[in-house]
Amino acid sequence: MRLHTTTVLSLTALALTGCSTSSAGSSDPTPSTAVSAHTDGDNAPASAPLSSAALAERLLDERDLGEDYIRQPQRAERHDDISVIGCPALEKLGGEAAVGGSFDFSHEAKVSFTYVGGGGSQVSEELYSDTEAKLSKGMGRIFDAMTSCPTYQVLVGSTSVTVTAQKVLAARLGDEQWSQWLTFFSGGRNSIVKQTAVRTGTVVVVVSGSPGLVDAHMRTAVAKARVARSTG
């Protein structure tokens, strides 16, 4: 089945361009059954979604990360057809996804960095805003699909990538949180990408990349997104 799955495509590209298993500060990838947790904030009054411009102002920048980080040029949006083999849940997700990718939310902003102090490891951040219900349902569906199959293949053009996925424990940083490790095998290379998402009100923060970098900056990213929630 051919499908538009921007999530898988972007993570595959990230893995193939510099995330290695030897990243400093990486934590133990032992899987956990707990990946989504609700806090007492569920009963708080809902706030309005933020615009893409407001989200962009709250993305991580060099001042948040430090001098060893270099911002990467924004890539042109890609909606390449890719094939997923061996994971029916991902195929179903692609068939249901709206044109433009699996993260089908009203507003978004993105940024990527290379950590020159760590062998070229990369970390990227995506901010999304929509209604709380849509964010909760959409993120849960995506993470459940991506971790429903222990191993599957992704075909991107002529490149075949074998992916193994596992859920990992996510720190309680917002109203809901999800986290996963994705190991990519392609062309004799073995790379790991960690992806953690946190919903705080009408904003979802998604940080992906070298596991140590994701763990190091997730709390700062969520704190900055909360500023957007209250002042945007």
- Mean pLDDT calculated for residue range 127-146: 92
pTM summary value? 0.80
> At how many degrees (to 10) do helices 132-146 and 88-96 cross?
150
pLDDT of residue 90: 81
Contacts of 28 (CB under 8 A, 6+ apart): none
pLDDT of residue 47: 81
pLDDT of residue 14: 62
Would you say residue 227 has pLDDT above 70?
yes
**Contact, 18 vs 120, CB < 8 A?**
yes
Q: Nearest-CA neighbor of 24 among 221, 170, 210, 217?
A: 210
pLDDT of residue 230: 45
- Range of lowest pLDDT (10-24, 43-57, 122-136): 10-24
Higher-scoring residue by pLDDT: 21, 191: 191
Domains of the chain in sequence order? 2-231 (3.40.1000.70)
pLDDT digits 0-9 by tens, 174-193 = 999 999 999 999 888 888 89
Contacts of 114 (CB under 8 A, 6+ apart): 18, 69, 70, 72, 120, 121, 122
| Rounded percentage of the chain residues whose pLDDT exceeds 90 | 41
